[in-house]
Amino acid sequence: MSHDHSSEHPFDAFNILIKQMPEPSAQAVAAVRARDAQLTKPPGALGRLEEIVEHLAAWQDKEMPTVERPTVVVFAGNHGVTKQGVSPFPASVTEQMLKNFSAGGAAVNQICATWGAGLKVFELALQIPTKDFTEAPALETRECAGTVAFGMESIAGGADLLAFGEMGIGNTTSAAAIYHALYGGKASDWVGRGTGLDDEGLKRKAAVVERAVALHKPHLTTPWEVLRRLGGREIAAMAGGILAARMERIPVLLDGYVACAAAAVLHAIDASALDHCLAGHLSPEGAHAEVLRRFGKKPLLNLGMRLGEGSGAAMAIGVVKAAVACHRDMATFASAGVDNKA
């Protein structure tokens, strides 16, 4: 007997929220632009730092945007598809790395500490991996919807800037399958080396993605079904987190290849669902550049990082902090006694 009663439409609640998403504040953006024009610099000279401040103002609805409580939220999940040999690391590493996050030993811990950012880590039923999606849907409908809802709850705590990250051996395979299902093309277009696959492993991974998408194709009637059948718990939770951030007017920094698979599900439902997000970092993994192009977003950073953990987005928190500090604390032409243009 299945727990999946489609008559209950467990994803409907999220669809209703998506229809009620708040819009950017034109008034806050106008206030930022008016102040920016008075700061002791040529117009536009801070480049994307100015764009960042406008973005924060628009979504926080604050004429003076803040980055006082930037928070990285990391979700960890295990993947049944690992039994197809898609990662050079054993699945046990997911739980071990979770302990490493808790003990403060991972890369994302050090990056957050550098900026004074908060870090929250959530374990998502690590003892119950998703089903191997080459054989069956990765998650039951209620399991998937419940995990999206859990991700929505995860943002509680007063953050004014959020980044979502993940840990899950096998999850670049899941992300590739989501992209292939949403965007078409060939499976090999969307697959990358993950934690370090060799050429043979890469071919195997592409074949796994191709087989999985072919199996589920007749049932991929909505982006939620793509998430449920090909995703993972950490990907579902990130989708919930990104959506909840929008509802709460908290700007989001998107992380890399896997985190953007969660974003892609929302984007496929409503192309404006990521308007509150900035792309934090371009991953060299697989097709991340193409995914960002489809989102219409230019990454703030391109540092060759391909670690997951939200580490790329976490790096971008520093950029946002500096941008806000410039806007908030710079002198004006009048206050500093500096002549404006001749």
Question: CB under 8 A: which stretch of 98-106, 138-146, 178-186, 231-239 binds a copy of itself?
Answer: 98-106
Binding of a copy of itself by 306 (CB under 8 A): yes
How many angstroms separate the CA atoms of 247 and 265, rounded?
17
- State how far the alpha carbon of 246 is from the alpha carbons of 147, 204, 330, 333, in Å: 17, 37, 29, 35
**Residue 272 CB contacts under 8 Å (≥ 6 apart), including other chains:** 21
Distance of closest approach, residue 109 Cβ to a copy of itself, in angstroms: 8
Distance of closest approach, residue 260 Cβ to a copy of itself, in angstroms: 17
Distance of closest approach, residue 172 Cβ to a copy of itself, in angstroms: 11
Label the pairing between strands 70-76 and 277-279.
unpaired
Binding of a copy of itself by 48 (CB under 8 A): yes
Q: Which of residues 22, 90, 157, 158 is near a copy of itself by CB under 8 A?
A: 90
Binding of a copy of itself by 302 (CB under 8 A): yes
Distance of closest approach, residue 18 Cβ to a copy of itself, in angstroms: 31
Distance of closest approach, residue 237 Cβ to a copy of itself, in angstroms: 22
- State how far the alpha carbon of 64 is from the alpha carbons of 50, 54, 70, 245, 316, in Å: 13, 10, 16, 19, 20
Q: Which of residues 164, 229, 311, 313 is near a copy of itself by CB under 8 A?
A: 311
Q: What is the DSSP code string of 135-153?
A: TS-SS-HHHHHHHHHHHHH
Question: Smaller CB distance to a copy of itself: residue 13 or 336?
Answer: 336
Binding of a copy of itself by 337 (CB under 8 A): yes
Q: What is the DSSP code string of 172-202?
A: HHHHHHHHHHHH-S-HHHH---TTT--HHHH
Question: Smaller CB distance to a copy of itself: residue 146 or 284?
Answer: 284
Question: CB under 8 A: which stretch of 8-16, 27-35, 97-105, 233-241 binds a copy of itself?
Answer: 97-105
Question: CB under 8 A: which stretch of 18-26, 180-188, 239-247, 306-314 binds a copy of itself?
Answer: 306-314
Please report, as residue ranges, which positions from 106 to 135 form the binding site for a copy of itself (by CB under 8 A). 106-107, 109-111, 113-115
Question: Smaller CB distance to a copy of itself: residue 27 or 302?
Answer: 302
The reply to whether 309 belongs to the active site is yes
Distance of closest approach, residue 28 Cβ to a copy of itself, in angstroms: 20
Phi-psi sector, 72: left (phi>0), alpha (psi -120 to 50), beta: beta
How many angstroms separate the CA atoms of 10 and 273, rounded?
19
Q: Which of residues 22, 96, 217, 219 is near a copy of itself by CB under 8 A?
A: 96
The DSSP 8-state label assigned to residue 81 in this structure reads G
Please work out the total of residues on this chain that contact a copy of itself, with binding judged by CB under 8 A.
63
How many angstroms separate the CA atoms of 233 and 231, rounded?
7
Q: Fill in the amino acid letter for 333.
A: F
- State how far the alpha carbon of 34 is from the alpha carbons of 51, 112, 325, 332, in Å: 14, 32, 17, 11
Q: Which of residues 103, 127, 200, 221 is near a copy of itself by CB under 8 A?
A: 103
Q: What is the DSSP code string of 197-218?
A: --HHHHHHHHHHHHHHHHHHGG
Binding of a copy of itself by 93 (CB under 8 A): yes
Q: Which of 50, 234, 285, 309 is catalytic?
A: 309
- State how far the alpha carbon of 54 is from the alpha carbons of 62, 251, 292, 306, in Å: 10, 11, 20, 28
Helical packing angle, 171-183 and 223-230, nearest 10°: 150
- x/- letters, 188..207, toward a copy of itself (CB under 8 A): -------xx-----------
Q: Using CB under 8 A, list all residues that contact a copy of itself.
A: 39-49, 87-90, 92-93, 96-97, 99-100, 103-107, 109-111, 113-115, 195-196, 284, 300-307, 311, 315, 318-319, 321-322, 325-326, 328-331, 335-342
- Which residues are known to be catalytic? 309
